[in-house]
Amino acid sequence: MLIDAAVESGAELREGFYVSEIVTEEGRVTGIRGRTPGGNTVVEKARIVIGADGNHSSVAVAADASRYNTRPSTAQGITDAFRDADLLCEALDEGFSGRRELKDSLADYQRRRDAADAGTVLMAEFFAPGNLARIVQARPGASAGGA
């Protein structure tokens, strides 16, 4: 469904394509080198290269990107990925359309993404007896003595 929507919106889909190398120029990621399913080597350059290549992203390594979402909540990874993709699309649209400087909109994206991650509480921490007791104590009408 997502792939169909992306293609309908103008994205070019290349299934079975493998990125073998990240191309950098003067310390900046500017493209990729990869292999088609038929074994041909292809080089692509772009103004913006998005590392949507998962937890062990080679784009992030090449860009020396700062780590984020290092304490993900169980079963929330896909929600987080959609949220961040949405924020990034907004920032790129602002920059490409000229409504803002691209570097400013991307800096704002990073700030919003990191702020969203900062609110994450690990499940084990949330359900720790001390934390549950604190929540119960804080509920309206709870007496200082508990119960």
78 binds ligand FAD (CB under 6 A): yes
Within 10 A of 25 (CB to CB), how many other CB atoms are there?
9
Minimum CB distance to ligand FAD, residue 31 (Å): 13
Q: What is the largest CA-CA distance in the chain?
A: 72
Binding mask 17-46 for ligand FAD (x = CB under 6 A): -xx---------------------------
**76 near ligand FAD, judged by CB under 6 A:** yes
Residue list 80-139, contact with ligand FAD (CB under 6 A) = 81
If the CB atoms of residues 13 and 78 are measured against ligand FAD, the closer one turns out to be 78
Tracing tokens 């359900």 back to the chain, one arrives at 127
Of the residues 41, 45, 50, 53, which one makes contact with ligand FAD according to CB under 6 A = 53
Q: Which of 1, 5, 13, 75 binds ligand FAD (CB under 6 A)?
A: 75
Among 3, 46, 52, 142, binds ligand FAD (CB under 6 A): 52
CB of 98 to ligand FAD, least distance (A): 28
Closer CB to ligand FAD, 65 or 136, in the complex: 65
HEC string for the chain: CHHHHHHHCCCCCCCCCEEEEEEEECCEEEEEEEECCCCCEEEEECCCCCCCCCCCCHHHHHCCCCCCCCCCCCCCHHHHHHHHHHHHHHHHHHHHHCCCCHHHHHHHHHHHHHHHHHCCCCHHHHCCHHHHHHHHHHCCCCCCCCC
Q: Applying CB under 6 A, which residues contact ligand FAD?
A: 18-19, 52-54, 58, 75-79, 81
